[in-house]
Amino acid sequence: MTSALSASPQTGAGVSHAKQIAWWLVICAAMVFAMVMLGGATRLTESGLSIVEWKPLTVTPPLDAAAWQAEFEHYQQSPQFEQKNSWMTVDDFKGIFWLEYLHRLWGRIIGAAFLLPFLWFLYKRAIDKPLAWKLGGLFVLGGAQGALGWFMVASGLQDRPDVSQYRLAAHLFTALILYALLIWTALDLFRGQHYEAATQRNNAPLAGFALGISAAVLLVMVSGAFVAGLDAGLTYNTFPLMDGRLVPTGLGLMEPWYINLFENVTTVQFDHRVLAISLVLLILFTWVRARPLRLTSRARLLVNALLAMALLQAGLGISTLLLVVPVPLALAHQTGALILLTLALCLAHTVRAPAAEAHAQPLHVKPAE
């Protein structure tokens, strides 16, 4: 990932557009952050299957009793109603409808919040072709994320009232990649031609560790999606033991063996535990390695915050498990994972080796007129 600033050293004119674009991307990233939280809430409350049609251009909810009855009749044909919620009335249905409606509406709002400023910046000739392609790719990725969301929901409208854990994991992973790319591109724009040489000195290994932590957080979060998709958090609600053992029985009951990683409840929860503990140890090791390094105050703050957040996140995860997945605590756990990812990305960007800057293609944002 390279720098994306086209500032004029004499006038600094390009900095104006770069900062505008960077803050716009930060706002979009924050909206994606909120979208992931909304998605978690719809999953935890089993609201995600309440709207059984995909109408991407429709933004209005039912507005009268007849429209609500029609929407409810569509829902009554779904497996979730037939197998789980046959007791519901229209008023009960509204309780799960609104959260899924907000989730979908927020996705459309994100699309507009990205597309309209993007078109404006193109019209103003504020960005050149390389950055335009990059931002266009992010918009396409966001659209694909919405389509993948419906693909996931559709898996729960066939025979069983549960979405495919594979599609759930893919949906979450795509959202996380979009979020990470938005953050990284914004950081490139904020940095521009000006990076803190003192922070960069001799810190290439630390940057590598931080990028490794970022990848590890993604892996742990995706494994958490499989836990959620299989409701594996509702089993083995003890820690550190599972069924009275550190390594439980039943890890490899399915054939072929690799299916256990994705469909065996015991294996999926065990893997998530092992990956999460390994992540905390990796962050602790990185913190120890960073202690003797000469870092700026910002880099030092990020290293310390990363360790503190990792310990807090571990506590949230254990508490969520022991208390059998209460919704507020589970959402806090998901929020903590995203914060951890953000800190790791910011640290990696802050301590990148200067060689990456020196060989970057200069200028992706055109000077302001």
Q: What is the pLDDT of residues 170-197, one digit of tens each?
A: 999 999 999 999 999 999 998 764 544 4
Quickly list DSSP for 260-311. HHHH-HHHHHHHHHHHHHHHHHHHHHHHHHHTTS---HHHHHHHHHHHHHHH
Banded pLDDT at 135 (limits 50, 70, 90): very high
Q: How many CA atoms lie within 13 A of 300 on its CB side?
A: 8
- Determine the average pLDDT of the residues in 4-15: 36
CB 62 within 8 Å of CB 71: yes
Q: Which spans in the chain are helix H? A: 13-44, 65-76, 79-83, 90-123, 129-154, 165-191, 197-200, 204-229, 260-263, 265-290, 297-322, 327-350, 354-358
Quickly list DSSP for 70-89. HHHHHHHTSHHHHHT-TT--
Long-range contacts of 289-297 (CB under 8 A, 24+ apart): 289/205, 289/206, 289/209, 290/206, 293/202, 293/203, 293/206, 294/198, 294/201, 294/202, 295/199, 295/203, 295/351, 296/196, 296/198, 296/199, 296/350
Task: Determine the pLDDT at residue 365.
Answer: 53
Q: What is the pLDDT of residues 340-358, one digit of tens each?
A: 999 999 999 988 754 444 3
* Token pair listed for 40: 């978690």
**Among candidate residues 146, 124, 172, 119, the one with its CA nearest the CA of residue 56:** 146
Alpha carbon distance 208, 198 (integer Å): 17
Say whether 242 sits in a helix, a strand or coil: strand
* Token pair listed for 165: 């854990």
CA distances from 353 to 82, 85, 201, 208 (A): 58, 56, 7, 10
Phi-psi region of 319 (alpha: psi -120 to 50; beta: other; left: phi over 0): alpha
**Among candidate residues 280, 272, 275, 174, the one with its CA nearest the CA of residue 232:** 272
Query: Of 9-13, 50-54, 100-104, which range is least confident?
Result: 9-13
Alpha carbon distance 35, 37 (integer Å): 5
- Determine the average pLDDT of the residues in 254-271: 95
Q: At what angle do helices 204-229 and 165-191 cross, to 10 degrees?
A: 150
- Determine the average pLDDT of the residues in 22-43: 95
Phi, psi of 325 (to 5 degrees): 60, 60
| pLDDT value at 1 more than 90 | no
Residue with tokens 């995706």: 222
Q: What is the pLDDT of residues 139-164, one digit of tens each?
A: 999 999 999 999 999 999 888 888 99
Alpha carbon distance 225, 285 (integer Å): 26
Q: Can you name the residues that pair with 365 across neighbouring β-strands? A: 127
**Among candidate residues 197, 354, 209, 220, the one with its CA nearest the CA of residue 288:** 209
